[in-house]
């Protein structure tokens, strides 16, 4: 597609419920990122994929957070047993570059985000 597509755009979950957020990156983009943006703050890195390989998951806040990209295209971020502090915008992004091309300076393009509210 023309841009990074995320769904759902808005999700209200009851505390304890599991949620799944989907990201469809720009066609042909090798790298895929998930970021979490709390209200009024800058995005915080969660995890990074190069094709289907999850190369960096250092930003995932707990073992309730899980991300996958099984075929190297669409990715899903899953949050189990949601808590109120999980309320945030979850941004997906993609770029052409690969981890081995860290000198490339490829631009990272972001989707519109999935707005999660846990009540």
Which parts of 17-36 interact with other proteins (CB under 8 A)? Answer: 31, 33
Shortest reach from residue 77's CB to other proteins, in Å: 15
Q: Which of 29, 43, 69, 75 binds other proteins (CB under 8 A)?
A: 43
- Output 29 or 82, the one with its CB closest to other proteins: 29
Within residues 50-109, the interface with other proteins by CB under 8 A covers 55-56, 59, 91, 93, 95, 97, 99, 102-103, 105-109
SS3 for the chain is CCCCEEECCEEEECCCCCEEEEEECCCCCCEEEEEEECCCCCCEEEEEEECCEEEECCCCCCCCEEEECCCCCCEEEEECCCCHHHCEEEEEEEECCCHHHCCCCCCCEECCCEEEEEC
Distance in Å, CB of 56 to other proteins, minimum: 5
With CB under 8 A as the rule, give the number of residues binding other proteins.
31
Stretch that binds other proteins, among 18-26, 44-52, 65-73, 75-83 (CB under 8 A): 44-52
Q: Which residues does 79 contact at the CB level (< 8 Å), separation at least 6?
A: 18, 19, 20, 21, 64, 65, 66, 86, 116
Which residues of this chain interact with other proteins, rule CB under 8 A?
A: 4, 6, 31, 33, 40-45, 48, 55-56, 59, 91, 93, 95, 97, 99, 102-103, 105-113, 115
């Amino acid at each position: 597609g023309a841009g990074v597509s995320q769904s759902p755009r808005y999700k209200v979950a009851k505390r304890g419920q599991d949620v799944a957020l989907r990201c469809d990156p720009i066609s042909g983009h090798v790298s895929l990122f998930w970021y979490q943006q709390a209200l009024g703050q800058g995005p915080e890195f969660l995890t990074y994929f190069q094709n289907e390989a999850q190369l960096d998951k250092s930003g995932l806040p707990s073992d309730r957070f899980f991300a996958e990209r099984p075929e190297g295209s669409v990715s899903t971020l899953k949050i189990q047993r949601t808590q109120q502090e999980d309320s945030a915008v979850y941004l997906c992004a993609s770029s052409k570059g690969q981890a081995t091309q860290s000198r490339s300076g490829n631009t990272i393009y972001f989707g519109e985000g999935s707005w999660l509210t846990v009540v």
